[in-house]
Amino acid sequence: MVLTIFFDLSRIASLGVILYLTMDVIIQWGVFRHLRGTINLNPAIILTAIVIDVVVLGAFLITKAQSDMLIIYASIIVIGVIFLSEKVFLRRVKGSS
């Protein structure tokens, strides 16, 4: 609801693209780094996917920087809030066990 108050649909979609591609790169890097020895994966496929995601994200960010910096700022803020929330959550979970 908050997004619909401040942004139109194209801005919400742009925010989703940035957040999704960022999340995709982070998850793929985590799989490559932590699970490559425990599951049967082809590292070339994972690394290729990361490179393609980074190229697409970079091109999208350059395009958005030329037309709508507010989306980039909003994305940085949302990513920061997610990381801080995750850090607080993990500290509480580790502290309670």
* pLDDT in the model for residue 50: 97
* pLDDT in the model for residue 40: 84
* φ, ψ of residue 60 in degrees (nearest 5): -65, -45
Residues 6+ apart with CB under 8 A from 32: 41, 43, 46, 47, 50
What is the pTM for the complete model shown? 0.85
Q: How confident is the model at residue 61 (pLDDT cuts 50, 70, 90)?
A: very high
pLDDT at 95 over 80: no
* pLDDT in the model for residue 55: 98
pLDDT at 97 over 80: no
Tell the residue number behind the tokens 């693209």, with chain if given: 17
* pLDDT in the model for residue 70: 93
DSSP label of 41: -
Summarize the confidence of residues 20-48 as an average pLDDT: 91
DSSP label of 37: T
